[in-house]
Amino acid sequence: MSDLIVVAFDDEKTGFDLRDALVKLQKEYLLEMEDVVVVTKGTDGKVVLHQAVNLTATGAAGGALWGTLIGLLFLNPLLGAAAGAGAGALSGYLTDIGINDNVMKEIGSSLPNGGSAVCVLVRKVTGDKVLAGLEAFKHKGRVVQTSLSKEQEDKLKAFVGTDAAAPSA
């Protein structure tokens, strides 16, 4: 079972820096993430989701490859590539894996303008080593939402939290 953790910051840069640090910890096998997304709210109030993987582009690339191969069978690889890319892009656009986009947009709307939140779906974690690896983010944000146990959530809030009130999610 995966746990959802959402940490908010008053600026965009810290959110992207945290995502980069989490990816680095995953490469060191200290953390296994199912999904990680940075949600930003611009100075104009517009909420943007920065997904780790662009499913539309991935679907288009895969569809173009398969379309070309199928097109070769019918002696028209260009038409096959175009049709495959379109079908793959549509499939990727309609696919939502990991954290629900509507939930993240709702969290983003509660952020202050210019703020960010990192939404992480964690499968496995080596807690003490991950917290040591995230020392640079200590007391810089606030925990907005988790599915952790009360004890784990309190420990995370003590590590990440600032005295500022957390926005409601």
Q: What share of the chain has pLDDT > 90, as a percent?
A: 22
Taking residue 122's Cβ as centre, other Cβ atoms within 10 Å add up to: 21
pTM: 0.67
Quote the tokens at residue 9.
């910051």
Contact 47, 105 (CB under 8 A): yes
Distance of alpha carbon 97 from alpha carbon 34, whole angstroms:
9
* Each residue's pLDDT tens digit, 57-92: 555 566 666 667 676 667 667 766 676 666 665 555
Contact 123, 43 (CB under 8 A): no
Alpha-helical (H) ranges within 30-168 are 55-73, 77-94, 101-109, 127-133, 150-160
Distance of alpha carbon 46 from alpha carbon 52, whole angstroms:
19
* Each residue's pLDDT tens digit, 112-145: 999 999 998 888 878 778 888 888 898 898 988 8
Domains of the chain and any CATH numbers = 3-52+101-160 (3.40.1520), 55-94 (no CATH)
